Amino acid sequence: MAEPGDNVTIPEFNNLLQMDPLLKTYDKDFQRRYELLQKKLFQLEEAEGGFDQFTRSYRTFGVQRQPDNSLFFKEWAPAAEALFLTGDFTVQVVVVHTKEGERLYRISPWAKYVTREEKSVIYDWVHWDPALPYIQIHPRPKKPTSLRIYEAHVGIASPESTIASYTNFTTNVLPRIKDLGYNCIQLMAIMEHAYYASFGYQVTSFFAASSRYGTPDELKLLIDTAHSMGIMVLLDVVHSHASKNVEDGLNKFDGSDSCFFHSSPRGDHSQWDSRLFNYSSWEVLRFLLSNLRWWMEEYRFDGFRFDGVTSMLYHHHGVGTGFSGDYSEYFGLQVDEDSLVYLMLANHILHTLYPSCITVAEDVSGMPALCREVQEGGLGFDYRLAMAIPDKWIQILKELKDEDWDMGNIIHTLTNRRYGEKCIAYAESHDQALVGDKSLAFWLMDKEMYTNMSSLIPMTPVIDRGLQLHKMIRLLTHSMGGEGYLNFMGNEFGHPEWLDFPREGNNQSYHYARRQFNLLDIDNLRYHQLYAFDRDMNRTEDKYGWLAAPPAFVSAKHEGDKVIVFDRANVLFIFNFHPTKSFQGYRVAVDVPGKYPFCSHLSLMSTECIICFYLKCNIRQ
């Protein structure tokens, strides 16, 4: 591989410009980013024999068992005078001797398994090397054309007030996900995190699957079982920051303020109270890229949802910044080129080694070319989260009367996405379920969810309205909002309570750190109606494939009638959001004459209700 010069050509840059000619103004920025990427790939080839070897560094760093049963120990600690390994070689400790004469006790950054005794607050590094490790046997599923994601957290996946297990998820939750018609699971809070209430976003051990749910083999069984059902599994990966924990985290591993991170203050995230990686460091790249490879190889995940991408892309981390869409916001000195090139490198390597790999970016800024191929000058993600959509629904439910809903504004929010860059649409995610916010069901039905969800009593206007709008909002988002769809665990049936992890403020209670799947097993509660609708919605999409089709063509948005009509994947959708009016003989335009028979798959559509007279999808013949 020849060393790239200063005039590297972006092979397919014209494809990007054809989709968005306005980016031509910033061609030098794209050129510079691509040159930096190519130089990094060249350096990897020269120094490490290529990225394939480089990203397998988890085989040589940390503690490795040798063929003669001895242990080999290797760490990167630039500020340390010396390192020693101590312990009984079941529980291990890295002893760091600093240049100032201090003796520090640390966990290896490459630790594969860490546990904590019940009354301890510090995790211990345990050497995990079972004599008969679990061997996964089922092949990875094919990459779906229509991605339907079930966002899940293993620890809360039970009605019990406790931390649920990998085994519970495999046995009790996976069959529900399969029945609902989701073809992908996004697992949160898998990377080990000492603070449970951080929802997994304050990672302490990057290579360790959280032991609070069970063993590594039990996680492997979970993923293998999902694969046997044809379900892909994505890891919610956190490479945007790390926990400030010292004794059981990466922070100050070698006694210095930097090592894996920028020195303070650049290395501190003011809002997250966490440390920020130095993506220009060779060894940090080794650590993070090997981390991605580890999860793909050892556990056979199918891809990643990258958390906090906005924070990575800009030196201001998105803090106090409102993105207007002006292209000047995405280029220039405010962009962190080191982290941007890291993301390009990560996507390039992942998609080269694993062509069916899926990567999803959590970015609120709208960075152009985020979801275009690296060969075009893009960052290489497959999808971005359509983060404006849930905010819009919450704003509407919180601030507007039913008669004040703006059909045009709703459509604009659902369709306002960059051309040629795929989005994951969602009406709500884990963010809306957290304490301090409300789920859609709670905004719609509030306290009546506790008293009036029984089918043994007459349906109240609040419950009637809530059930219908819950269905309509989710179907409209599903069918118009993107090229993929996401649902957070429990929201498919209108989970009645918020999510709050045990902490000092709630007396360490697990009461709200659970999902009440048991409500679905009570026949006279209306939760199972919402569940059945969600299942039918996914199955109907699976049959007609609107997520894989071009964007919807909106033929009507009537503010007076509160009616939305659009066409996607040869399916005609008609929504009536009017709070009091039903319509008979309502005329809508279609571009092809013919008969449009009723789609029977969405079996729970009500034709006689206050809010929704007509909610149907018809198939052209």
37-81 per-position pLDDT tens digit: 999 999 999 999 999 999 999 999 999 888 898 888 999 999 999
Q: What is the phi/psi pair of residue 256, to 5°?
A: -95, 170
* Rounded Cα gap, residues 62 and 107, in angstroms: 10
What distances in angstroms separate CA 59 from CA 64, 73, 347, one per listed residue? 7, 11, 21
Instruction: Tell me the pLDDT band of 614, cut-offs 50, 70 and 90.
Output: very low
- Give me the catalytic one of 192, 307, 428, 464: 307
Report the range of poorest mean pLDDT among 119-133, 203-217, 511-525. Answer: 119-133
Return the exposure string of 42-54: e unless at least 16 CB atoms fall within 10 Å of the residue's CB, then b.
Answer: eebbeebeebeeb
What distances in angstroms separate CA 252 from CA 58, 99, 246, 266, one per listed residue? 20, 14, 6, 15
User: 424: which strand partners?
Assistant: 385, 484
Q: If you average pLDDT over residues 346-354, what whole number do you get?
A: 99
Q: If you average pLDDT over residues 315-321, what whole number do you get?
A: 93
Contact predicate 376/12, CB 8 Å: yes
| pLDDT at res. 19 | 96
Angle between the N-to-C axes of helices 388-399 and 407-415, in degrees from 0 to 180, rounded to the nearest 10: 160
Q: Is 110 helix (H, G, I), strand (E, B) or coil?
A: coil
| pLDDT at res. 602 | 52
Give which of 206, 282, 212 is closest to 240, Cα–Cα.
Answer: 206
Say which residues have a Cβ less than 8 Å from residue 152's Cβ, sequence separation at least 6: 169, 173, 177, 185, 186, 187, 188, 488, 489
Q: Which two three-digit tokens encode residue 133?
A: 């490790």
Q: If you average pLDDT over residues 458-464, what whole number do you get?
A: 96
Looking at domain 148-548, does it have CATH number 3.20.20.80? Answer: yes
Alpha helices in 92-202 (DSSP H): 166-168, 174-180
| pLDDT at res. 613 | 27
| pLDDT at res. 615 | 35
Give the dihedral of Cα atoms 112, 170, 186, 124; nearest 10 deg.
-20
User: 576: which strand partners?
Assistant: 563
Greater model confidence, 617 or 26: 26
* Rounded Cα gap, residues 413 and 415, in angstroms: 6
- Give me the catalytic one of 236, 248, 302, 362: 362
Residue 618 has pLDDT above 50, yes or no: no
| pLDDT at res. 601 | 52
* Rounded Cα gap, residues 502 and 512, in angstroms: 8
307 is catalytic: yes
Instruction: Tell me the pLDDT band of 584, cut-offs 50, 70 and 90.
Output: confident
CATH dotted code for 57-126? 2.60.40.10
| pLDDT at res. 333 | 95
Contact predicate 406/385, CB 8 Å: no
* Per-residue pLDDT tens digits for 241-257: 999 999 999 999 999 99
363 is catalytic: no
Q: If you average pLDDT over residues 538-567, what whole number do you get?
A: 94
Say which residues have a Cβ less than 8 Å from residue 167's Cβ, sequence separation at least 6: 214, 218, 221, 222
Other Cβ atoms closer than 10 A to 36? 18
Residue 90 has pLDDT above 80, yes or no: no
